[in-house]
Chains A and B, each alone.
Chain A
């Protein structure tokens, strides 16, 4: 029997294939960086991703089910949907806020919260791409996590103020320390604003 293989995308760091209805995410070697760095990153991130995707689901955040993990490859459930970057609106942003609140409550930092790493499938929003995720309960780590997302809102989407406000509403609903983190996000931003003065 011939297997159905479709190359879906070449993502930020991995190639994604759809094989017989299953997603195969492989972190292929990057020739541009030193072998020592490359192998360490690919192995570590694959391991971390498989582990944290499962942890995230336990915290109530929809993520793909992991079927198998090899050296630098993960087999996981195929989420049939559309990347949030193509459909984002305030309503969805509020729901992203709720999901990130759940993650942070569980002590998980996603590490790469962009709208490329979220899939809307039917009514659900899935978070994917946990290769940069880690456990951390600090306000700083959570603040950077949210800052990265806000930066994507601003760079990629129109009306980012509305999106940020909506996110904040959702985030407060599911995470009790939301206000501390949002305060820290402002601080992180202003560090950027005043960088040249601190040369």
Chain B
């Protein structure tokens, strides 16, 4: 008889989405979530943390109940230990520690960015891709070499998600701005040049964001949204292609919330076609922040012995992906 795979409960809450899931080696067994929607302005870390604290009990209760229906026996509790907002991270960590103690199972601290990568590799079944990771605070091009995910290029100032949201807020769009900008951009009639800044495999979005805001004074919103997206995404696709050429790898994996943008996906796909590379992206639900990615990476870590004692489980708001010792590859 085949040994039944272990189940891990994962909790994600680095920013606005509180999400928990239970996975085993073969599938996502259960999930539950609750999103914080800011009333106005951007995301306020303390308000988001407050939201997570308020909804934690319900979310955990839901996911455990669904897990129970499926006979899932939890072998470990994983949580996103960073990077992210300090107050949000601490709320999640507190809950995870308590659960690990009460269930008497190991505690696992998962790097949020690595989790985005691992769930993509799992669901898309891709072994060794170059990864474009695009989220609110971060935008990075990474690939695995010798025990670590290495950063080949990244933003020199703000992440693409924040750039979109900042511009969106200025243009009077509701938070999060990204999806609305995508929609409005479809109605554009013309493109206006905006600053295109690539330095090796690094890039910058702050000059672009400022210029796009200024452009609103004399150009229609549709055209500015379109020009913003086309410029920013062309930069991202270009550096991804540079990393492909530099590493000699043949697969691209898209990860992170901004990955849900269909124009970005289309551009990456075209680039891959033109240089006979393969493009992979998981379902949108697994590109945005989700509990399953923490649970699955937690499972990989559990099986390679990377568990934490409570004393070592302090959160790491600036935890970088290239600091993680990848013990499971």
Task: List chain A positions with a Cβ less than 8 A from chain B.
Answer: 9-13, 30-34, 36-37, 40-41, 85, 111-114, 116, 132, 144-145, 147-149, 151-152, 154-156, 158, 188, 191-197, 199
* Whole-angstrom CA separation of A13 from B146 in the bound complex: 27
B residues near A152, Cβ cutoff 8 Å: 152, 200, 246
Q: Verify B202–A151 contact, CB threshold 8 A.
A: yes
Q: Verify A195–B242 contact, CB threshold 8 A.
A: no
A residues near B150, Cβ cutoff 8 Å: 154-156
B234 (CB) vs chain A CBs: closest residue: A33
B residues near A145, Cβ cutoff 8 Å: 199
Task: List chain B positions with a Cβ less than 8 A from chain A.
Answer: 43, 45, 82-86, 136-138, 143, 145-146, 150-159, 162, 191, 193, 196, 198-202, 230-231, 233-234, 237-238, 241-242, 245-247, 266-268, 270-271, 274-275, 317-318, 320, 322
- Closest Cβ of chain A to B227, distance in Å, is 9
* Whole-angstrom CA separation of A189 from B22 in the bound complex: 37
Q: Verify B200–A154 contact, CB threshold 8 A.
A: no
- 7 A–B pairs (Cβ distance < 8 Å), ordered by A: A33-B233, A34-B230, A116-B245, A132-B200, A155-B152, A191-B157, A196-B137
* Whole-angstrom CA separation of A113 from B162 in the bound complex: 28
Q: Verify A196–B318 contact, CB threshold 8 A.
A: yes
* Whole-angstrom CA separation of A114 from B141 in the bound complex: 15
Q: Verify A36–B193 contact, CB threshold 8 A.
A: yes
- Closest Cβ of chain A to B177, distance in Å, is 15
B residues near A41, Cβ cutoff 8 Å: 196
- Closest Cβ of chain A to B83, distance in Å, is 4
A113 (CB) vs chain B CBs: closest residue: B200
Q: Verify A85–B246 contact, CB threshold 8 A.
A: yes
Partner of B246, one of A31, A111, A114: A114
Q: Verify A34–B234 contact, CB threshold 8 A.
A: yes
If A30-B271, A33-B230 touch, does A148 touch B145 (CB 8 Å cutoff)?
A: no
If A155-B152, A199-B137 touch, does A32 touch B318 (CB 8 Å cutoff)?
A: no
Q: Verify A13–B153 contact, CB threshold 8 A.
A: no
- Beyond contacts A30-B271, A31-B270: 20 other A-B pairs, Cβ-Cβ < 8 A, are A12-B246, A13-B242, A32-B268, A32-B271, A33-B267, A34-B234, A37-B193, A112-B200, A113-B200, A114-B246, A144-B156, A147-B202, A151-B152, A155-B145, A155-B150, A156-B145, A191-B156, A195-B159, A196-B84, A199-B136
Q: Verify B270–A116 contact, CB threshold 8 A.
A: no
Q: Verify A32–B145 contact, CB threshold 8 A.
A: no
Partner of A116, one of B159, B231, B246: B246
B residues near A191, Cβ cutoff 8 Å: 156-157
* Whole-angstrom CA separation of A108 from B191 in the bound complex: 32
If A116-B245, A155-B151 touch, does A193 touch B318 (CB 8 Å cutoff)?
A: yes
If A33-B237, A114-B200, A144-B156 touch, does A40 touch B193 (CB 8 Å cutoff)?
A: yes
* Whole-angstrom CA separation of A143 from B274 in the bound complex: 34
A residues near B137, Cβ cutoff 8 Å: 195-196, 199
Partner of A34, one of B83, B86, B136, B191: B191
Q: Verify B234–A32 contact, CB threshold 8 A.
A: yes
Q: Verify B200–A158 contact, CB threshold 8 A.
A: no
A193 (CB) vs chain B CBs: closest residue: B318
B residues near A40, Cβ cutoff 8 Å: 193
